[in-house]
Structure 1
């Protein structure tokens, strides 16, 4: 059973997205598209953060900025 090049390309793109998403989660950086989709679906009255705001929010949470309990090496 031979696969078409389109099918292989789609599978490769899915695999690389999963690997990249997993790597982001390992370093404490969530998936902005999943976040934005969730906000639009469950909180239609709220505007989602911009991608930059989301990145900074996740970084601040990771490193404990603003009295949050985040990872601290020292």
Structure 2
């Protein structure tokens, strides 16, 4: 629990929670592998491209 909290505090996405959510709520839809998931979360967080930038600085 401490590790999970620390990761969320610094913005590291939780792949296991994502997989559990998808299996429970969207069982008919594909699940991204870890690399796809990580890249998608980084894109969502920093939004580089699409004409906008929401970086940390």
Give the Å deviation of 1:45: 0.9
Is residue 35 of structure 2 the alignment partner of residue 52 of structure 1? Answer: yes
* TM-score of the two chains, using structure 1 as the length reference: 0.62
Greater fraction of residues in helix: 1
Larger RCO (CA under 8 A, 6+ residues apart): 2
Alignment of 1:32-71 (within 5 A): 32-67=15-50, 70-71=54-55
* TM-score of the two chains, using structure 2 as the length reference: 0.75
Which of the two has higher C-alpha Rg?
Answer: 1
Say how many residue pairs are matched: 56
Verify the 8 A CA contact 1:61 1:70 in the aligned structure 2.
no
RMSD: 1.8
